[in-house]
Each structure stands twice: as structure tokens, then as C-alpha cells.
Amino acid sequence: MTPQTRKNDQNGTVPAHTPRLRLKAKAPHGGYVDGAWWPHGDDLAVELPDLLAVLSVRLGRIDRVSYRLGAWANAPRKLTTGGRAVRLDGYRLQPRNTIEVRGLDDDRDRLILLVIPPRTDPDDAHTTMMAAAQSDNAATIDGLLMISPRGRDRRTQASAAQDRWESEGGTSVPVSGDQYVSAQPPFPRLPRLVTALPFRR
């Protein structure tokens, strides 16, 4: 599916579909994120054009988007939207469930958004988006997504195991969210060995 945006009379880009997005006010605020985004799917190349068209009103020209490696099914290195190329950088250390959108002035023009998983219950997604957009909300990413410390530890361990597996030559295909299907078994099957025991009379 090819992302679609269009130009308006002021030469700005207009989203083909309004993204599900809530931002904190532009005034100084606290917290880990500047707002929340609830994409429709896990294909970053399809989801970003509409989001960037809206965010360009606040940030001006978008230069780069950082995301967590493995979090998206399709994430090319560059994306052309609104007639301009935007660099997409994936990092293993990017906090889970976030993207960082940067304008041309890296220090001033940047937003960190909480990414709500696409298949989240609509009521839960709405509550989380509204909380993330409150200027005085300083909750952590896990706190906003209501992830318990035990759940966070389980996710961290699973991610570390996945990283080890891939660094040792294994491959995996993302299915949805944090679930993966191995493209090959993690350990080769060894033939069953039959040991001959000495015969006793």
C-alpha cells in the first residue's frame, strides 16, 4: 500500500487520513513524552506520512524519525512524504513504545510520542492518549501503558533473548506487537543417539 498525502494551497502537506494523535500544549511541560499516537497498523512506512503531515505544523520540516528496532513490520531507511525525504533511524536502545520526531533544529524541534499498540482496546487507547497529553502528567511510558514491573521485566527478558538469537544468526518475522515467529528453529534437531551397552550373561 502506497502512503498518500496531498498538498494544500499554502504548499503544506495535508494528511490523507487524520492520525489518532494527542499532543501536550506547546508551553513547557514535564513528563517522559510529548503526547501519544495510536497507529492503525504496524507498517511504519504506511503510518508515518499522515502523522508527519500533522506534526509538521508544530515542528516545521521533519528531518528524522527514530524508532525501536523490531517494533515495526516495515521500516525503510528513508521515506518520501510531501515531496521531501525523511530519514528513519531504528535503534535497539530507543525506549519501547516510543518514536522521536525531529525537525531541522534538533535541539528545539523534536517530539517524543508514546506509541499505543494498534490492537489496543479503543477505550483503553483513548484513556492512555488523554493521559499522555496532559501537561502535568509525568508518568513513565510503562505507567501510561499500565505495564506492571513484572510485565516490563518479562518484556525486557524476551527482547534480550530475541536480540541474542538474532545476533547469533537466527531470524524472526514480527507477527504483531512484541510477538515473533522464528523463521528457523532456535536449535537444530540432533539425531537420537543409541548407545550400545555391553552384553552381560
Predicted TM-score (pTM) of the model is 0.68
pLDDT at 188: 42
pLDDT at 144: 85
Type of residue numbered 82: G
More confident residue, 182 or 120: 120
For the chain, percent of residues with pLDDT exceeding 90: 40
pLDDT at 186: 45
C-alpha cell, 32? 517522559
d(CA 24, CA 17): 21
Mean pLDDT, range 149-161, rounded to an integer: 65
Helices (H), 84-183: 122-132, 141-144, 149-167
Question: Collapsing DSSP states into helix, strand and coil, what is residue 162?
Answer: helix
